[in-house]
Structure 1
Amino acid sequence: MGAGHGHGHGHTPGHASSDGGNRTRLLIALGLASVLVLAQAVGSVVTGSLALLTDTAHALADASGLVVAVLAATLMTRPPTSRRTWGLTRVEVIAALGQSALLVAVGAYTAVEGVRRLIAPPEVASTELLVFGVVGLLLNLAAVAVLASRRTANLNLRAAFLEVLNDALGSLGVVVAAVVIATTGFQRADAIAALLIAALIVPRAFLLGRDTLRVLLEFAPAGVDVAEVERHISALDHVRDVHDLHASTIGSGLPVLSGHVVVDEECFTGGGAMPLLDQIRECVSSHFPVPFEHVTIQLEALGPGRPECPLAHCARPPETAHR
């Protein structure tokens, strides 16, 4: 029996420095979101606008989500321990799931209240609504600019970016509704804008929730077919069988792979086990859309009673056959 483990160096002190930069961006966005909540809360009372009230609730959800995002970014910098062997990497996934749930709740409330106001539209102060809408739009655009460059760093930042982007679109809807009411007197424009904001929020929230659940339920990383990984390993020289192959994601940018590989007994007697492990790690780390940084392979010698893999005697495919 033999075991091998390999990993890259993407989660070293440089990674902690990157998390510190992410945390700074989140803190700036949180400050802007807090000012926005106060301004729009006052504006929703003054104008009586559902669109602005919805945008205020959305901004409050943003601010709450950003508080969680800042905490997650802070906790993620803590190193692994003997009890938390992966550290707190998965905190960002849990934080993103909580934020998606908040957005779904805001969208559901807006849909119900928007339909009610379509039936019986109240009077909305269009001038004041326009002022508060423009203020909200400017603050949201500033938050979008702060987070845009790091929006793909992890699920936590992706969730935060989507929230402020959706809120910016919501503020734009408020501005448009204010202009329509001021120029035409069509009061239902406020409720329509609120429903459009909800339509922007909910689908993106569901997509974010789906991606976080894929991580928590330990699905294979997106774009990785485990059966194809198994075929690649099976095609290597001296490999007779591959079983118990598992691929999952611990957190953003941290895919892991483990499995058992049955090889010719001569690999152990002739000193070929370690070179074969290196070949397997090289294959799975460079030939697939997601490079596996943490690979754990258990080698097993082919013995009596073990079936031969049907690919064992196939010639190894040329390098161009790997992706």
Structure 2
Amino acid sequence: MHVHAPSTAKMQRVLRLSLVATLAYVVLTLLAGLRAHSLALISEAGHNASDALALVLSFVAVHFQSRPATDRKTFGYQRAGVLAAFLNALTLILISLWIGMEAVHRFAAPAVVQPRIMMLVAAAGVLMNGVIALLLWRVSHDVNMRSVFVHMLGDTLSTAAVIVGGAAIFITGRSGHPWLWLDPALSLAIAALILWSSFGIVKETLNILLEGTPRGLSLTEIRTQLEQIEGVEDVHDLHVWCLGSQTNALASHVTIADIPPSESARILEQINGTLRASFHIHHTTIQFEHTNCPVAHGCVMPVEAVTSHAHHHH
């Protein structure tokens, strides 16, 4: 997948803007949270700090991904974004566990919070996150940008919850019995939200980093379709993996009869056509073997290896 320059520049602009806004908001929520004694606000700061981290990593990743392939990195830097999302999600899991522990302490010893500050700061956050989420949604295509977008959306919702909580504490406080437990309850919910979104990202990115079969692809199905092509006798040593979050590659040995190269070229065309049309696999390495060779011993005869590399165009 070649990241086209204009979309990359646009992505980087949006990320830069989001980053500045998010960092400013982290500082604001942290100070306000300390001042209002609100754990929900402090957890929002943690949540947003994690977002800022996500943005920084995505920024670096978008930058790396747009660098061309070199002789030393033959697939370019597509994995940079995946690795970024993975590390980011791990940090998030730690932050959410810390918030969870703090919240449990708070239930035992409730702190008096200042609901007005809670509501004001959260309202500012909803506005900011909403705008950023909208901007990101317009440029989000790969897993890395998607993880950032999901974050922002989650943020908008959790910040909205903080406003509601602040309002409830404010109203109940006027009758002299403020519902102080709402504050740690909200922070637990926010922690759970961070945890849930992080696990999803860890699972998806780990699958890519461990060269797992791409989501939604079945090897059996690929094998069955290829073996239906006329002239293909057997498909073995089949591998499919993700290069980045968008690009899949396939390598396989295909057994065919001992036929002239012009014939085998037609078979290769059909194989690649099927892979492109049915499975969106554009990067293939197909090695032909002839039936008269002892496949059991891994093919001792000289084998013609045919590589095709059609670039992925959006």
Query: TM-score normalised to the size of structure 1?
Result: 0.87
Task: Write the distance in 2 (CA, Å) between the matches of 1:180 and 1:133.
Answer: 14
List, as ranges, runs of 4+ consecutive aligned residues in structure 1 with deviation greater than 4 Å.
304-307
Partner of 2:89: 100
Give CA deviations for 1:132-160 in whole Å, capped at 9, x if unaligned. 11112111111111111233x11210121
SS at 1:171 equivalent: helix
Q: Deviation of residue 192 (structure 1)?
A: 0.8
Partner secondary structure for residue 280 of structure 1: helix
Secondary structure in structure 2 of the residue aligned to 1:111: helix
SS in 2 for 1:300: strand
**Structure 1 residues not aligned, in runs of 5+:** 1-9, 308-323
Q: Distance in 2 between matches of 1:304 and 1:80?
A: 37
Cα separation, partners in 2 of 1:228 and 1:267, compared to 1, 3 Å = farther
SS in 2 for 1:240: strand
2:270 corresponding residue in structure 1: 279
SS in structure 1 at match of 2:251: strand
Does 1:176 find its partner at 2:164? yes
Could you tell me which amino acid in structure 1 is paired with residue 142 of structure 2?
A: N
CA distance in 2, matches of 1:85, 1:95: 19
Q: Distance in 2 between matches of 1:79 and 1:111?
A: 43
- Aligned 8 A contact 2:275 2:282 in 1: no
Aligned length: 291
Contact 2:22 2:48 in 1 (8 A): yes
Report the residue type matching 1:34 in the other structure. L
1:33 aligns with one of 17, 22, 33? 22
Report whether the alignment pairs 1:165 with 2:153.
yes
Quick one: percent identity of the two aligned structures? 29
Within a 5 Å distance, the mapping from 1:126-205 to structure 2 comes to 126-151=115-140, 153-184=141-172, 185-205=178-198
Q: Secondary structure at the match of 1:287?
A: helix
Secondary structure class of the residue paired with 2:4: helix
Instruction: Tell me the distance in 1 between the aligned counterparts of 2:27 and 2:143.
Output: 27
Tell whether 2:63 aligns with 1:77: no
Deviations 1:231-275 (CA, angstroms, capped at 9, x unpaired): 11112111121111100100021111110101010243xx20111
Q: Find the counterpart in structure 1 of residue 310 from structure 2.
A: none
Contact 1:28 1:146 in 2 (8 A): no
Once the two structures are superposed, residues 76-107 of structure 1 have per-residue CA deviations (whole angstroms, 9 ceiling, x without a partner) of 11111111101111000000001111221121
Partner of 1:300: 289
SS of equivalent residue, structure 2 residue 236: strand
1:241-256 → structure 2 map (5 Å cutoff): 241-256=234-249
For 1:316, the equivalent position in structure 2 comes to: none
More contact order relative to length (CA 8 Å, sep ≥ 6): 1
**Contact map agreement 1:62 1:163 (CA 8 A) in 2:** yes
Query: Residues 102, 304 of structure 1: CA spacing in aligned structure 2 closer, same or farther, 3 A cutoff?
Result: closer
Structure 1 residues 223-238: aligned runs within 5 Å: 223-238=216-231
Residues 1:71 and 1:299: Cα distance change in structure 2 (over 3 Å): same
Contact 1:48/1:123 (8 A) holds in 2: yes
Q: Contact 1:220/1:247 (CA < 8 Å) preserved in 2?
A: yes
What is the CA deviation profile of residues 176-197 of structure 1, one whole-angstrom value per residue up to 9, with x for unaligned ones?
Answer: 1110110011111111111111
**SS where residue 266 of structure 1 aligns?**
coil
Q: CA separation of 1:37/1:296 partners in 2, compared to 1, >3 Å: closer, same or farther?
A: same
Residue 13 (structure 2) aligns with: 24
